[in-house]
Amino acid sequence: MDKQCFLTQKGPKAVGPYSTAVTYGDTIYLSGMIPIDPATQKLVEGDCAAQAVRVFENIQLVLGEMGATMQDALKTTVYLTDLSKFGEVNEIYKDWFGPDYPARTCVEISKLPLGAQIEVEVIARKA
């Protein structure tokens, strides 16, 4: 098996020197997605809920570009700058990944790139 790097053509561009995703065998390792609008390459305005929706749209877009879906997600890691938004994000999350939810970790961190309130990384299987 060979490691293959992937750079999105449809989703938001990386804000640093990293690949959008890396595949190894049948596994996709998707870099953390923050709420950047792919059309403008700028952080979306709004509250954590609005930013969460954009993050999940970005994940769906990039996974689709790679021939996978949200239901192919095996594990997610959610980073929040305010853990009091946990319930709010869960309400949005469940509609994107359910009903067979991936394993998940959710943590609060002090800051995210560009001032984002949420970042999500995904490990998925190739469809």
Is 80 in a helix, a strand, or coil?
strand
Q: Is residue 106 flagged as an active site residue?
A: yes
Q: Is 30 exposed, middle or buried (0-12, 13-18, 19+ CB in 10 A)?
A: buried
User: Which residues, including other chains, have CB under 8 Å from residue 49's CB and lie 6 or more apart?
Assistant: 85, 88, 89, 92
Q: Which of 81, 106, 121, 123 is catalytic?
A: 106
Active site residues: 106
